[in-house]
């Protein structure tokens, strides 16, 4: 059997009070993160988006296959095409495809088929999941846990955007097949999330939501 190539873990112990302080500071910061649908058109330099994508790329992934492709779009014509196609799908979703139980939970969020964030935000980032890979012998093979891997990576991307002082929105136009065509991605990649990134618009609003408390989301066996 070939042996895996191992290197020492880089890790330094921290004093317990630093561990608590770091955790609490991050929690306080993340509690401030909100998803808004109201973006300013103010430009954002490309390197900030690239850094957020690099942060996402640190995610653990199934068999370390890193089964993601991040497509970042600032080109206004392409953003307009994405918006037109997304709105066409979303109109059908909201008018015809969405069952009443789904409408019920979206109602307090105030979402609809009009998606100005896709043209207002200076960047639209589309996360594609790679469903298959090519082996070194040229054969096609699956990727593993690609949904989970991309979900974790998306979380890191959202955190990075927030920590840099920008806002993003996890938009899921459905179905998303049009993105593969518009962005010229291969058949083995599926669009998973559309993430407009930018500054919030002046007067940007968010729904008045509360987050579940620890006791409502965690079960501890001590």
- What residues line the site for ligand IYR (CB under 6 A)? 90, 106, 111, 171-174
Q: Say if residues 199 and 44 touch (Cβ distance below 8 Å).
A: yes
Q: Which is nearer to ligand IYR, 58 or 172 (CB)?
A: 172
Q: Say if residues 85 and 161 touch (Cβ distance below 8 Å).
A: no
Report, in Å, the least distance between residue 114 CB and ligand IYR. 9
Report, in Å, the least distance between residue 4 CB and ligand IYR. 40
Q: Which is nearer to ligand IYR, 134 or 174 (CB)?
A: 174
Q: Write out the two tokens for 12.
A: 């330094």
DSSP state of 49: H
Q: Which is nearer to ligand IYR, 122 or 173 (CB)?
A: 173
Query: What Å distances lie between residue 124 and 66, 76, 127, 217, CA to CA?
Result: 21, 10, 10, 31
Report, in Å, the least distance between residue 20 CB and ligand IYR. 33
Q: Which is nearer to ligand IYR, 94 or 144 (CB)?
A: 94
3 state DSSP class of 84: helix
Q: Which is nearer to ligand IYR, 90 or 120 (CB)?
A: 90
Report, in Å, the least distance between residue 51 CB and ligand IYR. 26
d(Cα 151, Cα 165) in Å, to the nearest integer? 22
Report, in Å, the least distance between residue 158 CB and ligand IYR. 14
Beta bridge partners of 68: 129
Q: Say if residues 82 and 164 touch (Cβ distance below 8 Å).
A: no
Report, in Å, the least distance between residue 172 CB and ligand IYR. 4
- Residues in contact with 155: Cβ distance below 8 Å, sequence separation at least 6, in sequence order: 59
3 state DSSP class of 128: strand
Q: Which is nearer to ligand IYR, 59 or 118 (CB)?
A: 118
3 state DSSP class of 70: strand
Report, in Å, the least distance between residue 110 CB and ligand IYR. 10
Q: Which is nearer to ligand IYR, 54 or 174 (CB)?
A: 174
Alpha helices in 164-211 (DSSP H): 177-182
Tell me phi and psi for residue 124, to 5 degrees: -120, 120
């Amino acid at each position: 059997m070939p042996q895996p190539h191992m290197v020492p873990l880089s890790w330094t112990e921290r004093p317990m009070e630093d561990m608590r302080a770091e955790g609490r500071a991050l929690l306080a910061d993340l509690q401030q993160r909100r998803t808004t649908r109201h973006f300013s058109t103010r430009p954002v330099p490309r390197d900030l988006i690239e850094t957020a994508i690099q942060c996402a790329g640190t995610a653990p992934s199934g068999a370390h296959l890193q089964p993601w492709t991040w497509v970042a779009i600032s080109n206004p014509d392409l953003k307009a095409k994405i918006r037109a196609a997304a709105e066409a799908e979303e109109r059908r979703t909201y008018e015809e495809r969405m069952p009443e139980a789904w409408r019920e939970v979206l109602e307090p969020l105030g979402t609809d088929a009009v998606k100005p964030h896709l043209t207002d935000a200076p960047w639209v980032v589309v996360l594609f999941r790679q469903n298959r890979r090519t082996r070194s012998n040229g054969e096609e093979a699956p990727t593993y846990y690609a949904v989970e891997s991309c979900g974790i990576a998306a979380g890191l991307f959202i955190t990075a955007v927030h920590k840099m002082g920008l806002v993003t929105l996890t938009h899921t136009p459905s179905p998303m097949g049009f993105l593969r065509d518009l962005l010229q991605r291969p058949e083995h990649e599926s669009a998973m999330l559309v993430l407009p990134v930018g500054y919030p618009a002046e007067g940007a609003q968010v729904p008045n939501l509360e987050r579940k408390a620890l006791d409502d989301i965690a079960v501890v066996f001590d």
